[in-house]
């Protein structure tokens, strides 16, 4: 049996969805149809119904769905492109993906929807696109996953960036009445179609509306639209959870001053920032003030260390989450990595200039891509799953100790002394960069590579100091505490209430804890 097969055979604690009723808000918690409290753990199906250029390795010239579609047509011809997209939508997310997601320990998927696939410019439903959603729901019923419907690309565009497929790089949803009318009609169509479907977790009305300068210009219009969408949905569907996102990449929650619907939740996204309580404090405050559940609906694209720590942060504060995304080309930051086919670099180069390969060559490259993207042909990155779920993660950074405070997650004699600005300052544990002044933001990376020395944050410990790292499971005997140069440290590693505890037996500088293979020579 290969290592990959052994990893796939491992079983996490089952967290299957229950379809005996609707997921609902109850105070600041979410509960399933049986009244059982939920802590959601899911993955986002990015790139399937709304392609994003960075997931293909594309840069300027092929970043939005429209641009990607134009590039494919230019390279392989209109007829071949139509056939490509039909096959792409059959295979990029297939039942085998859903089966793998469920087997990995998740309980839901978030489905990013491009309005162009399910609605014409005149506002009429497109059956073929809606059937894609129907098919996904049936797969998820079989494999016991909920489906959160996410309008990622609204008519006209809600962000004015490439991620929403806006035709003119403006948030024209808020500029053109016809786009607003079509958005209302789109959600009415979905709510009517799925009103009685308990596999559907809820309705995520708009992905990351109004970033950057737009967050101030159209904030009032967004609130008005949220109210209208809520009324439109409730006219035909009294049961499903409604999810509202803040402005500016879902991080600005200034619009949330009152409760618009009793069965609703608020969503934030988190990327490339310090994973600590201070960074989500504004979301926790709104939760407590409005008494609504909150949800981290999109986050990822980072190192194993960051993923382990950030997702423990959410769970410590009772926040359900969704990891982004499930699958990309040649990635170290998603569970499924698609091997780029031979000649793909010439396709990427073609995005910004003259095609660097013939039509026949391009057709062969795209045909191979369709084969490579099938989940059974992807490189499986179990370490991502392990980091997200805290199930024997391969590496835990020194700064990834728990978030429960002094005496619960840490006890360090020098607490209250030196800290790093903007990185877990509230814990007052002595953090520093392993070398020099370090980086202004060491967490701002997307490749998943190992940290450089100037990005490595360490903790100085004196004898008797300890830090707790929260885990679902781990072989304590396999844990090794390492210093910044990779040296093994004089510490005691033992089980604790919520995972493992590292206690210094001499003055040490801790950089990370790694899990080693017991059977390695």
> What does the pLDDT look like over 81-90, one tens digit per residue?
999 999 999 9
Looking at residues 10-26, what average pLDDT do you find? 76
Question: Which pLDDT score is estimated for 416?
Answer: 64
Question: Which pLDDT score is estimated for 5?
Answer: 38
Looking at residues 382-398, what average pLDDT do you find? 96
Question: Which pLDDT score is estimated for 310?
Answer: 98
Question: Which pLDDT score is estimated for 352?
Answer: 84
Looking at residues 334-344, what average pLDDT do you find? 98
pLDDT in tens, 93-112: 999 999 999 999 999 999 99
Q: Is the pLDDT of residue 9 over 60?
A: no
Q: Is the pLDDT of residue 313 over 50?
A: yes
Angle at alpha carbon of residue 378, lines to 372 and 383, rounded to 5°: 160
Q: Is the pLDDT of residue 16 over 90?
A: no
**Token pair 């949330």: residue:** 256
> Measured between alpha carbons, how far is 359 from 87 in angstroms, rounded to an integer?
19
Predicted structure pTM score: 0.95
Q: Is the pLDDT of residue 13 over 70?
A: no
Q: What percent of the chain stands above pLDDT 90? A: 88
Helix 219-234, helix 177-194: angle, nearest 10: 30
Q: How many CB atoms lie within 10 A of CB 410?
A: 23
Question: Which pLDDT score is estimated for 417?
Answer: 66
Q: Is the pLDDT of residue 14 over 70?
A: no
Q: Token digits for 520? A: 């390695």
Q: How confident is the model at residue 294 (pLDDT cuts 50, 70, 90)?
A: very high
Mean of per-residue pLDDT scores for the chain: 94
Q: How confident is the model at residue 436 (pLDDT cuts 50, 70, 90)?
A: confident
């Amino acid at each position: 049996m290969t290592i990959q097969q052994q990893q796939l055979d491992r079983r996490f604690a089952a967290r299957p969805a229950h379809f005996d009723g609707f997921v609902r808000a109850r105070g600041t918690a979410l509960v399933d149809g049986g009244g059982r409290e939920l802590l959601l753990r899911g993955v986002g199906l990015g790139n399937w119904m709304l392609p994003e250029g960075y997931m293909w390795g594309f840069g300027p010239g092929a970043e939005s769905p429209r641009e990607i579609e134009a590039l494919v047509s230019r390279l392989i011809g209109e007829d071949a492109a139509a056939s490509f997209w039909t096959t792409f939508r059959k295979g990029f997310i297939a039942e085998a993906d859903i089966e793998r997601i469920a087997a990995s320990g998740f309980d839901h998927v978030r489905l990013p929807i491009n309005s162009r696939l399910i609605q014409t410019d005149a506002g009429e439903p497109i059956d073929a696109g809606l059937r894609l959603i129907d098919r996904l729901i049936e797969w998820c019923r079989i494999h016991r996953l909920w489906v959160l419907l996410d309008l990622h690309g609204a008519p006209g565009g809600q962000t004015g960036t490439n991620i929403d497929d806006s035709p003119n790089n403006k948030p024209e949803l808020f500029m053109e009445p016809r786009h607003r009318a079509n958005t209302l009609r789109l959600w009415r169509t979905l709510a009517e179609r799925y009103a009685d479907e308990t596999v559907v977790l809820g309705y995520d009305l708009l992905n990351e509306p109004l970033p950057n300068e737009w967050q101030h210009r159209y904030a009032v219009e967004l609130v008005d639209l949220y109210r209208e969408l809520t009324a439109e949905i409730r006219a035909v569907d009294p049961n499903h959870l409604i999810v509202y996102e803040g402005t500016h990449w879902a991080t600005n929650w200034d619009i949330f001053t009152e409760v618009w619907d009793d069965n609703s939740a608020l969503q934030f996204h988190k990327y490339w920032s310090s994973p600590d309580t201070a960074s989500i404090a504004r979301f926790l405050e709104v939760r407590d003030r409005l008494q609504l559940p909150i949800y981290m609906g999109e986050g990822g694209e980072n190192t194993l260390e960051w993923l382990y720590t950030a997702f423990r942060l959410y769970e410590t504060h009772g926040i359900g989450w969704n990891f982004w995304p499930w699958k990309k080309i040649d990635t170290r930051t998603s569970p499924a990595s698609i091997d780029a086919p031979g000649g793909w670099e010439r396709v990427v180069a073609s995005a910004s200039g003259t095609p660097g390969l013939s039509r026949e060559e391009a057709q062969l490259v795209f045909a191979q891509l369709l084969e490579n993207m099938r989940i059974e042909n992807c490189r499986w990155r179990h370490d991502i799953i392990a980091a997200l779920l805290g199930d024997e993660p391969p590496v835990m950074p020194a700064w990834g100790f728990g978030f429960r405070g002094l005496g619960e997650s840490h006890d360090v004699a020098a607490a209250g002394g030196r800290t790093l600005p903007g990185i877990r300052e509230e814990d007052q544990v002595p953090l520093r960069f392993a070398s020099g002044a370090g980086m202004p933001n060491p967490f701002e990376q997307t490749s998943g590579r190992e940290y450089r020395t100037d990005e490595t944050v360490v903790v100085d410990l004196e004898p008797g100091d300890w830090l707790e790292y929260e885990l679902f499971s781990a072989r304590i005997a396999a844990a090794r505490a390492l210093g910044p140069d990779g040296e093994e440290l004089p510490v005691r590693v033992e089980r604790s209430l919520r995972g493992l505890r590292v206690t210094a037996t001499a003055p040490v500088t801790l950089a990370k804890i790694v899990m080693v293979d017991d059977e390695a020579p």
